[in-house]
Amino acid sequence: MQGLDELRGKYIDQIAGAADEGALEAIRVAALGKKGEVSLKMRELGKMTPEERKEAGPALNALKDEIGSAIGAAKSALADAALSERLKAEWLDVTLDPRPARRGTIHPVSQTMEEVAAIFADMGFAWAEGPQIESDWYNFDALNMAPEHPARQEHDTFFMHRAEGDERPPHVLRTHTSPVQIRAMEKQGAPIRVIAPGRVYRCDYDLTHTPMFHQVEGLAVDKDISMANLKWVLQEFCRAFFEVEQVELRFRASHFPFTEPSAEVDIRCSWEGGSLKLGEGDDWMEILGSGMVHPNVLRAAGVNPDEQQGFAFGIGIDRIAMLKYGIPDLRAFFDSDLRWLRHYGFRSLDVPTLHGGLSA
């Protein structure tokens, strides 16, 4: 059949020069539509002899398929180019978080622990840790607590389950971090200066008590240590922690099995106008317990009380955090309320330092 090469060249050139899909569609109609040139050639097959159809039919079908494939390829190329141009104009970084940025905060208890550690580190105290599940010996016996002491009863202490018939001494959830002092003296001996922050557990729950809370205990053992050293350390701590120029402490005689003499420590304060101010006023508020380490405690830890003596103190971290940051309810520390944490929390990079500020 004559003229097929001319049709092929004509439409292939037009397809290559098409600027958009509309132009390609016009070319398709002109070539392959009902009245298209290729379609009209197909109608001529009926007028041909069988021999002529055998030659012309395959050639026309091949031309039809070639033009159709070229149009399809050109459409895909135009679609890809259009998509590339649109993506350039509508560029979006899909690695960016589409949600509003939410920044994590440091819990006030964690912040207070860091503040306490920074202050005592400046005074030469190391950080010591110990297990939260303690033996009866470390939690009570080594600390000179008599068998009949109320803390050794189930109404005050969480005892671990024991199998029936097990005669071994029980284990408990530690009621204070004082066992860490025993372990530290066993390991290091004396002289020693450590603080032991951490979780402790007691059977109590109300506005100012929770079954789990946080405590820091301090210990200093050396030759010639006295109550005067204890008083200076606590005064410097309170002045630095509460960030006031001067504080006044009052030591009241008390009794703790692990210290002798023992003293409750009050800080001078004012409640004038319903707000707490430390270091001034006519009121006193108890903030911690302290005393000179009992000789029996030193002896239990392997330290000779005839050659060494020392002081110890215990502070409720949650309590002093409440005082410093105006938190009214201790239970809120453990409610996992994000609104509360965003209100009282601290920025994650605000690491407390004495030179940079504790809670700035």
Which residues, 6 or more positions from 274, have their beta carbon under 8 angstroms from its beta carbon? Answer: none
What are the percentages of helix, strand and coil residues in the chain, rounded to 5?
Answer: 45, 20, 35
* CA-wise closest residue to 191 among 295, 290, 307, 294: 307
How much is the pLDDT for 356? 61
How much is the pLDDT for 2? 63
Contact yes or no for 219/245 (Cβ under 8 A): no
* Pairwise CA distance, residues 321 & 110, whole Å: 10
How much is the pLDDT for 194? 97
Distances (CA, A) of 120 to 106, 198, 235, 273, 307: 20, 15, 12, 33, 25
How much is the pLDDT for 208? 62
How much is the pLDDT for 343? 84
How much is the pLDDT for 256? 92
Give the CATH fold of the 108-347 domain.
BirA Bifunctional Protein; domain 2 (3.30.930)
pTM of the entire predicted model? 0.67
Name 105's bridge partners: 347
pLDDT in tens, the chain (360 residues): 567 777 777 778 888 888 888 888 888 888 778 777 777 777 777 777 877 777 777 777 787 788 888 888 888 888 888 888 887 887 767 776 666 666 778 888 998 999 999 999 999 999 999 999 999 999 999 999 988 887 777 778 888 887 777 777 789 999 999 999 999 999 999 999 999 999 999 887 666 677 888 999 999 999 999 999 999 999 999 999 998 888 999 999 999 999 999 999 999 999 887 788 888 888 999 999 999 999 999 999 999 999 999 999 999 999 999 888 888 888 888 887 888 888 888 877 777 776 566 665
3-state secondary structure of 255: strand
Name 353's bridge partners: 357
